[in-house]
Structure 1
Amino acid sequence: MSIEISGKMPDFELGNANPKVGGKIVNFTDRLEPNGLIILFECNHCPYVVASVERINEMANIASSKKIGFIGINSNDASVYDSDSFENMQKRAEKGMPYPYLFDETQIVAETFDAKRTPEFFLFDGDGRLVYKGRMDDSPRDPNQVSSTELLDAVNSLIEGKNIEPKVTDSIGCSVKWKQ
């Protein structure tokens, strides 16, 4: 299963490792802001995510300023990567994270979205329709090498009412760690 461009955002409710932002349980539709929602699949151990944390937090703040919600989701099998356990997600959130950090323990959300990588972003408009999916930029491990900012460009196009191009990009990162 996957969500195609212009497809409707499914609604899920997951436990939040960052309850200071959004409470202990977060419902996707409750986080949909007037201009949309960004859903990020991420984790704690992937070097591509680790190297992008500051830029991810900055993107969450930009989204908030543009009335776009932001959610991070960890769908990795914590029995294989203990660093991706709910407890370790809480420790990471305590270091500073401006958005809910949700645990998809059953991996049903990642399956529904057909998420393949961490980090991988899904941008929905204010009606909950998918308008962009893929990477944040072309250099998640080295901010000095960034030459294209696809997610930010998509956000700006959405806000300005312009056509979003590209609508899909290949994410660069680690694979989602699926349960056996």
Structure 2
Amino acid sequence: MKTLFSHLALSTIIGISALALTSSPVLAQDAPTKQKGHENEKGKQKGHDDGKGEHKGHDMDQPAKDKGKDADKGKDAAKKGGVAPGDAAPNFTLVDTDGKEHNLSSATQEGKIVVIQWFNPDCPFVVKHYGASKTFNDLAKNYGDKGVVFFAINSGAKGKQGAGKDRNVKAKADWEIPYPILLDENGDTGRAYGAKRTPEMVVIGKDGRVAYFGAIDDDAGADKPGKVNYVAKALDEILAGKPVSTSSTKGYGCSVKY
């Protein structure tokens, strides 16, 4: 009898325990909670991947920085000076070998065409055009009465080759140069134009803009003049009301002695 009662009690306990396990709300929600946690882990992983997007955004800033560097280079270039065809010609006020002051704006305001030659009387490439060929003097003779003004500018610093008032006074007399030689000993005007060679030429139109910049002609040797005079060609076209067909060439000669 006791044995039978024990078996019945044990069966009852087991049944109650099983019923409790299947109906427990805590245990029923346990699995979804773990699944949700797993999804949160995926969310963290996604957040980490989004972090890669931030790195990508940081990388995209690089071109902007590079662009800024390019802009800085542009500013540096502007500081160094230099003009190109179509640019407004920088004004200058310089004194010639006779002590007379000249400025560009006076000529352009009068509607003149201006020809500038960078000058060094001791440069062989300059000498060839003032010797037997008389290239520069002939230009002044042929175009001086057509509203064209000529200046030679010496941007050599004191003590440098071909620089100084006395040396240039002598050159003007020896070569019978019919136009002023302007002294630019601090080099400000030369640098403003970006002059690098003697003789380097600039033609400025009636509108005050650079119409031609470059060599005097097509022969870069130091012995004889070339067949094509780019300055004469530019002047003929400007005077005829035509656009300058060759507005720039590579200059040749001695370096400007800044």
User: TM-score when scaled to structure 2?
Assistant: 0.63
Is 1:142 aligned with 2:223? yes
Q: Secondary structure at the match of 2:102?
A: strand
Alignment of 1:123-142 (within 5 A): 123-139=203-219, 141-142=222-223
May I ask how many residue pairs the two structures share in their alignment? 172
| Displacement after TM superposition at 1:61 (Å) | 2.0
Q: Deviations over 1:85-126 (max 9, x none)?
A: 111111112231111100101100010000010001100111
Identify the match of residue 105 of structure 2 among 7, 23, 29.
29
Q: Which residue of 2 aligns with 1:51?
A: 128
Give yes or no for contact 1:34–1:68 (8 Å, CA) kept in 2: no
| Displacement after TM superposition at 1:128 (Å) | 0.9
Q: Deviations over 1:123-149 (max 9, x none)?
A: 011121111111111226333x62222
Distance in 1 (CA, whole Å) between partners of 2:247 and 2:128 is 24
Q: Partner amino acid for 1:99? A: Y
Q: Which residue of 2 aligns with 1:66?
A: 146
Q: Structure 2: where are the runs of 5+ without partners?
A: 1-80
Larger Rg: 2
Percent identical pairs in the alignment equals 28
Give yes or no for contact 1:39–1:70 (8 Å, CA) kept in 2: yes
Higher relative contact order (CA 8 A, sep 6+): 1
Alignment of 1:63-102 (within 5 A): 63-81=143-161, 83-95=162-174, 96-102=176-182
User: TM-score when scaled to structure 1?
Assistant: 0.88
Structure (1 or 2) with the greater helix fraction: 2
Structure (1 or 2) with the greater strand fraction: 1
RMSD: 1.7
Q: Partner amino acid for 2:141? A: N
Is 1:14 aligned with 2:90? no
Q: Secondary structure at the match of 1:48?
A: helix
Q: Structure 1: where are the runs of 5+ without partners?
A: none
Q: Partner amino acid for 2:163? A: D
